[in-house]
Chains A and B, each alone.
Chain A
Amino acid sequence: MNETQTNSMIDALLGRDIQTDHGGLTLGDVVVLLLDIVLLIYTGWRSYDFLTTSVPQGYEILALVGLWGLDIGAVAWSLVWIFGSASKYQDWVSMFFFVFDLVGVVLTSLTDSLLYGQADEVLSAMLKDIAVVVVPLIVVANVVAGFIYHLASPQTRERRAKRKAEHDYRAKMMQITAMERDLAYAESYLLARQEILDKSAAMAKIKMMQDQIERQTRLALRDLTGIHGLTTAPDIQAGEERLAELRKRLETIQAQQEMLVTASGNGHTPEAGAGGAAANPLDHFPEE
């Protein structure tokens, strides 16, 4: 087996013949990666062992949950910093919690190892006191960091900006809708008022016409002598004609009176003597 064949075999084993977007991993990178995976088992075991001492009996599953804030958290924040973070704040959060979790991992591993066997009592007690407070804080801080990371995401900020713009748009559109509604009500009111005004105007006109007819009727009833018609003549000649007509009527009235007197003396009623024409004196006057 020559060197070229050996190298191609190792390349195939390392997956270097597969094109990725992460550049190339060297053999050293792969060795460190695999060594870290093995050491992760050790530190994870240690962290779990320590966490089980800090939870009540029967709740050891909580210790596994706590691992997500220590060993698994460190790896997760590392991956997030490498591939995920897209903004300055996300970079800060992921890098800070990567280091923070690693400190937690070292602390729990060291403390757990000191709890076994013959160790320095003072150091063990001190580290245990520190770890009992710090480790839950680290775990809880990881949860908070997850939220902060999410909030600092450009996509989240974009969605928030979009949601805010949509909210503003909806508020403005609601204003427009309210204005349209108010305008529709105002239009409806104005149309209804216009209709009433039209009716009122028509009624007023009818009333005026009725008043005029009534006035004319009353005038006609009062003006049996035709005085009003005389006074309203347009010129002198018309006035003279009306005057002549008036005299003629006076003569007619006098004649009628004489007939009435005569008839009353003969026992005849005026209606019978007038042939019915005197029953409605208005019939003798022309309509104006």
Chain B
Amino acid sequence: MLRAAWEMFYTFLTAFFKGVLLAVLLGLPWLIRLAAVLLWLTGGALAIEAIRTIYQPFTPPGAVFALQFAVIFLLVAWAGVLLRRGRLWGGLTVGGLVLVLLVRYAFPWFLGWQYASLVSRILPPALFALGLMYLTFRLRFLHKRSIP
């Protein structure tokens, strides 16, 4: 009686673990995708925190929010580019990994650099100026080309 019960329980456990294993195997792609999203979000959160660390000492809160929003926007734009190219999950993983590594290793080195303060102060307006120049020339080119 006891033996029969044990065999039945063993069969049940075997079926259960096989089911769990099968479920894990079937859900593995989605688990990896979930991990990619988490890695992407972690990288973004670390970048946002890094921005706050750098800019909070010499920036009004509103301007810091704007810079943090710029990072959020870049994260979303990166996802958009990946969606367009059909390489979302791999791109999110690589992007998140690069961000995490940058913040973990490059960021401390940057903070210790002699000109870190000056570069970080000049970076946002310089990026704005470069972006605006790019857009200006690009749109002018498109506009001129559109004129018959």
Known: A41-B66, A42-B63, A109-B124. A36 touches B131 (CB 8 A): yes
Which residues of A in the span 27-82 have a Cβ within 8 Å of any Cβ on B?
Answer: 27, 29, 31-36, 38-43, 45-46, 49, 74-75, 78, 81-82
Q: Which of the residues A6, A7, A22, A102 comes within 8 Å of B143, measured between beta carbons?
A: A22
Complex Cα spacing A83 to B144, Å: 9
Contact indicator B126/A106 (Cβ below 8 Å): yes
Tell me whether A34 and B125 are in contact (CB under 8 A). Answer: no
Complex formed: what's the CA distance from A21 to B139 in Å?
A: 11
Q: Which residues of A contact B135 (CB under 8 A)?
A: 29, 32-33, 36, 78
Q: Provided the pairs A109-B125, A116-B57, A119-B117 are in contact, do residues A102 and B63 lie with their beta carbons within 8 angstroms?
A: no
A275 at the interface (CB under 8 A from B): no
Q: A45-B60, A105-B129 are in contact. Are A38 and B142 (CB under 8 A)?
A: no
Q: Tell me which residues across on chain B come within 8 A of A46, comparing CB atoms.
A: 59, 63, 125
Interface check B13, CB cutoff 8 A: no
B125 pairs with A27, CB closer than 8 A: no
Please tell me if B22 contacts chain A, counting CB pairs below 8 Å. Answer: no
Determine which residue in A25, A49, A102 has the highest number of CB atoms from chain B within 10 A of its CB, and name it: A102
Say whether B46 faces chain A, with CB atoms less than 8 Å apart.
no
A281 proximity list for chain B (CB < 8 A): none
| Interface size bracket, B side | 35 or more
Bound Cα distance A24, B145 (Å) = 11
| Cα–Cα distance between A39 and B124 once the two chains are bound (Å) | 7
* Interface stretch (choices B34-42, B75-83, B100-108): B75-83
Beta-carbon contact of B58 and A119 below 8 Å? yes
Task: Kindly identify which residue among B70, B117, B139, B145 contacts A38, using a CB–CB cutoff of 8 Å.
Answer: B70
Contacts of A23 in B (CB 8 A): 142-143, 145-146
Expressed in whole angstroms, the minimum distance between the Cβ of B70 and any Cβ of chain A is 4
Q: How far is the CB of B54 from chain A (nearest CB, A)?
A: 11
CB distance from B6 to the nearest CB of A (A): 49
Q: Which of A81, A82, A116, A117 has the most CB of B within 10 A?
A: A82
> When the two chains form the complex, which single residue of A10, A34, A36, A82 contacts B128, counting CB atoms closer than 8 Å?
A36
Given contact pairs A21-B146, A35-B74, A45-B60, a sample of 13 additional A-B residue pairs in the complex whose CB atoms are under 8 Å apart: A6-B83, A22-B142, A35-B127, A39-B128, A42-B66, A42-B67, A43-B124, A74-B132, A78-B132, A109-B121, A110-B125, A116-B59, A118-B57
Give 12 CB contacts A-B under 8 Å.
A23-B143, A42-B70, A74-B129, A81-B136, A105-B128, A109-B121, A109-B124, A109-B125, A110-B121, A110-B122, A113-B58, A113-B121
Chain B positions within 8 Å of A, measured between CB atoms, are 57-60, 62-63, 66-67, 69-70, 73-74, 77, 80-81, 83-84, 86, 117-118, 121-122, 124-129, 131-136, 138-140, 142-143, 145-147
Chain A interface (Cβ < 8 Å from any Cβ of B): 3, 6-7, 10, 20-25, 27, 29, 31-36, 38-43, 45-46, 49, 74-75, 78, 81-83, 98, 102, 105-106, 109-110, 113-114, 116-120, 123
